[in-house]
Structure 1
């Protein structure tokens, strides 16, 4: 099992959700987050003043999938989240040793569906 964390532009959330559903990922955790990458944020100009916004609003999507869904899920996220512009986001993958469904006591991949 792997945990996939994707940081994407907020307006891409519905597209990512729909694509993940198409490849068999039917649950996720979503958080509103702020951050910046190489661009260091943005510097909007208002009449008479320029100021730096250090953190840009993003959406963090977290899913845990069985090993056979890792690459389809990553491809779905990349296709749905890509705009071709700076700030499209990042995807991180980490190993999950165990998963438990609290209600039933199911463990491992059975706890994911």
Structure 2
């Protein structure tokens, strides 16, 4: 398990430090990981019948896109009264989302 954990973590710390140095924002997320270890996986199995491991898995999500250009206004009306058409994406918005997705996907592929 420790070998698997080490191979997954890779260069996590250095990449996070580089992101901070370049002024990027990030969030750390995590969750509990519980699994049962049987006697065959334990190093010293004398008198043990297996037990449950409790780990905490975490990840840092680095914000690679600057969202400062996006509007941060509060709603100007009661959202429950808006028509459904207000939320349906028009062709221009769909094209913009598609272009943004292509850019983000390309960045991931390059990485």
Query: Shorter-chain TM-score: what band?
Result: 0.3 to 0.5
Higher RCO, 1 vs 2 (CA within 8 Å, ≥6 residues apart):
1
- Decide which structure has greater helix share: 2
